[in-house]
Each structure stands twice: as C-alpha cells, then as structure tokens.
Amino acid sequence: MFTFLVKPSELKQRLIKVIRFYPVIALVVLGLAYLLGAFTKQAHPIISQDAVITMLYIFIAIGPLFVIVGFILIGLASDRERNRASLATGRLAYEDPFSLPSEQMGGYKVVSITGAKPTLTGLTGDIYKADDTARCTNNPDHVPPVAECECECGFYAFKNIKDAKFELSITPGVFLIEVDLFGVGFEYGEGYRAEAQVVRKLITPSRCMRCKTLPVKNFVKRYHLGYFDETWWQWQIRCALCSSTFKDQDRLTVSEMSRELHILIKGR
Ligand SMILES: [Zn+2]
Ligand SMILES: [Zn+2]
C-alpha cells in the first residue's frame, strides 16, 4: 500500500489550495498560448493550435482526474489513520483507564452563530453554551466522549490554529473560537475530543463578511436559506455600511454580542 510522508489532513489542505488556483493556471496557460501565436492564422506559429488543444484537453480531463484520485488516496489514508487512532484510544480507555494523559487540552475550532437569540452552533449542527458539557445524541447512557460511539460524541478542537483557520477559509459565515477542554478526553485526529468545553474567546475577522473590504463594526442577523427550503437566523459581522440597513432588533454591537454569548470577543 501507498504511504504519505505528510499527514493526510495536511495533504488535503494543500490539494484544496491548488484547486483554488486552477482557474488562474488555466488563464495563464491560455494567455501563454495566445502570446505564442496559437490563435493566429499565421503559417508557422511558435506553438501550434493542435498543441494548445491538447493542453486544454489535459486541463479539462486529466487535471481533474488527478485531483479526484488524490482525494480518494488521501481519504483512504486518513481512514487508516483514524482507525489506528481509535484503536489506540480503545486500548487507553479499557486496559488502563487511570493512565489517561494529564496534559492540558485546548485549541481552536470554528462555530456559527445562529438563532433569533444568538446561539453557538457547531458545524455538525449541535448547539452549545460558552461553558458546556457534551451530550450524546446516540445513547443517553453515554458520558461523552465515548471512543467508539457512532455519533462521535464529545467536544472537539484542533491543537493547531492553522487547521482551524483553514476550516474557516473554506466555510462561509463561521467564526474562529479558542477553547479549553476539560474532563475526560483524548487526542483525536489533529486535536482533542473531550467531555466539557469552555469558550475562551471568539476572534472576529478584520474585514466585513459581506463586502470583504471595510473594517467590521456590528453583528447582524438575517435569514439563511438552507437545503430543503428551510430557513434559520444566521449572524454575521459586517462593516458600518453593510449593517446600516438592518433594523435595531436585528443588529448587535460587539459588546452586546459579547454579553449575549458570555464570551470575550476580540479582533484578529
Ligand atoms: Zn455517544
Ligand atoms: Zn461591508
């Protein structure tokens, strides 16, 4: 079997970054072809039209194929990594439950703020308070985190802010938070999975979530349309201009939001 020198999650992040540049690369290739005379009717262009067409085929078919194969390989590798990790935690939990690592757990993750009254909502849809204990939706007898639980109960956080920032960059409308984890917990994937969580602070982006240009000023709530036509309230942070059309009851200052959520809110 193949093995990667870099961690699968790291590779996946790199691959996604490359895909973002794909349109740019395509434009550069077309531009070069144009400059080299591939689109002109002259008798002996530096690069022939056939060569350009072949290059385009490579771009349309072979490039994406490599990307798909890349994702499949990375998926397989990260499955194996997860299996190894869960085997390790299984041993930890059952053979010697008293020798759990006592290192301090904490890290970073992303969260959305939803609801008419601002509520922290994880990417999987579960809501939590600034200081909360995990509940298992699968089995009422579970005290999360249960290593082999199907619903993967417990609070998660990345150890490294880099991983959380990457998730932030690919998920629109979410915020970066810094958390401390408590109770029973173990290393999981790129971070920890634990019983209880306290949100230390929410880090706002420096630019407006709408125009992406002006500095942020207010939180505003608006209806978000989801799949299957259901809607929910979602909070964004916007500049003074992009939040000016909102009614007072749909708008909160940073300190008002901080009081609502019981979390320290800071700029980046
Ligand atoms: Zn569970
Ligand atoms: Zn704006």
Q: What is the pLDDT of residues 224-235, one digit of tens each?
A: 877 666 778 999
Q: Kindly give the distance from the C-alpha atom of residue 222 to the centroid of ligand 2, in angstroms, as a whole number.
A: 15
Q: What are phi and psi of 71, to 5 degrees?
A: -65, -40
Q: Which ligand is nearest to the CA of 213?
A: 2
Under 8 Å between Cβ of 200 and 46: no
Closest to 132 measured CA to CA, from 174, 181, 176, 202:
181
Q: Tell me which of 94, 128, 163 is where a domain ends.
A: 94
DSSP 63: H
Residue range 61-82: mean pLDDT, rounded: 84
**Higher pLDDT among residues 63 and 177, named by residue:** 177
Are residues 187 and 115 both part of a single domain?
yes
Q: Would you say residue 1 lies in a domain? A: no
Distance (Å) from CA 122 to ligand 1 centroid: 16
- How many domains, in total, are found in the chain? 3
The token pair at 221 is: 């709530």
Average pLDDT for 213-232 = 85
105-148: per-residue pLDDT in tens? 999 999 999 999 999 999 888 899 999 999 998 888 888 998 88
Considering 35, 70, 94, which residue would you say is the last residue of a domain?
Answer: 94
How many whole angstroms from 252 Cα to the centroid of ligand 1? 36
Mean pLDDT across the stretch 21-46?
77
Beta bridge partners of 267: 204
SS3 state at 59: helix
- Domain, as residue range, for 242: 218-267
pLDDT of residue 4: 56
Q: For residue 149, which ligand has an atom nearest its CA?
A: 1
CA of 235 to the centre of ligand 1 (A): 29
**44 and 79 part of one domain:** yes
Band (86; pLDDT cuts 50, 70, 90):
low
Residue 25 or 244, more confident: 244
Q: How far, in Å, is the centroid of ligand 2 from the Cα of 173?
A: 13
Amino acid 101: pLDDT? 56
128 located within any domain: yes
Predicted pLDDT at 96: 46
Comparing CA positions, the residue from 251, 99, 257, 239 lying closest to residue 177 is: 257
pLDDT surpassing 70 at residue 1: no
Question: Which pLDDT belongs to residue 206?
Answer: 94
**Ligand in closest contact with the CA of 152:** 1
pTM, entire model? 0.71
Ligand 2 center–CA 177 separation, angstroms: 22
What was the pLDDT predicted at 210?
Answer: 95
CA of 186 to the centre of ligand 1 (A): 14
Percent of the chain with pLDDT over 90: 45
Stretch 245-264: mean pLDDT: 96
How far CA 158 is from CA of 66, 108, 147, 176, 195, in Å, comes to: 29, 5, 17, 11, 15
> What pLDDT is recorded for position 214?
96
Distances (CA, A) of 5 to 9, 180, 232: 12, 31, 43
Residues 45 and 133 in one domain: no
137 located within any domain = yes
Residue 258 lies in a domain: yes
Q: 11 C-alpha vs ligand 2 centroid, how far in Å? A: 34
* The pLDDT value given to residue 89: 55
Whole-number Å distance, alpha carbon 148 to ligand 1 midpoint, is 8
234 versus 99: the higher-pLDDT residue is 234
